[in-house]
C-alpha cells in the first residue's frame, strides 16, 4: 500500500470513528430524554394542575426587607411588666 492509499484509509477510519462517536452521543441523549420523560410521568408533572386557575388569588410581590428593623421581644416572653 502506497502513502496515498494509507492517507485515504486513515481519513476513512477517522471519519468512521467520528460517525460512531456521534451515533453513541445521539443514543445517550435519547436515553436521557426517555429517562426524563419517565420520571415526569411518575411525578405527574404533565398532569393537570390540582388548583383551577379561577380559584387562585393574585398576591403582590414583597419588596421590603426580610429582617425586622430592630429586635423586639416576643409577645409570649415575660418582660416583667405583668404580674
- How many whole angstroms separate alpha carbon 44 and alpha carbon 81? 55
pLDDT > 70: what percent of the chain?
60
Contact status, residue 46 vs residue 40, Cβ threshold 8 Å: yes
Cell numbers for 50: 390540582
Q: What are the residues whose beta carbons fall under 8 Å from the beta carbon of 46, sequence distance 6 or more?
A: 40
What is the structure's pLDDT at 25? 95
* pLDDT tens-digit map of 35-58: 999 988 888 766 666 666 676 777
The most confident of 2-11, 44-53, 63-72, by mean pLDDT: 2-11
pTM for this structure? 0.42
Cell numbers for 63: 419588596
Between 37 and 63, the more confident residue is 37
What is the structure's pLDDT at 24? 95
* pLDDT tens-digit map of 22-36: 999 999 999 999 999
Contact status, residue 62 vs residue 68, Cβ threshold 8 Å: no
Amino acid at each position: 500500500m502506497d502513502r496515498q492509499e494509507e492517507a485515504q484509509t486513515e481519513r476513512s477510519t477517522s471519519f468512521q470513528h467520528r460517525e460512531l462517536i456521534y451515533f453513541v452521543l445521539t443514543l445517550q441523549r435519547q436515553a436521557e430524554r426517555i429517562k426524563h420523560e419517565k420520571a415526569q410521568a411518575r411525578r405527574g408533572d404533565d398532569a393537570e394542575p390540582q388548583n383551577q386557575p379561577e380559584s387562585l388569588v393574585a398576591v403582590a410581590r414583597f419588596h421590603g426587607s426580610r429582617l425586622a428593623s430592630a429586635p423586639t421581644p416576643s409577645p409570649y416572653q415575660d418582660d416583667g411588666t405583668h404580674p
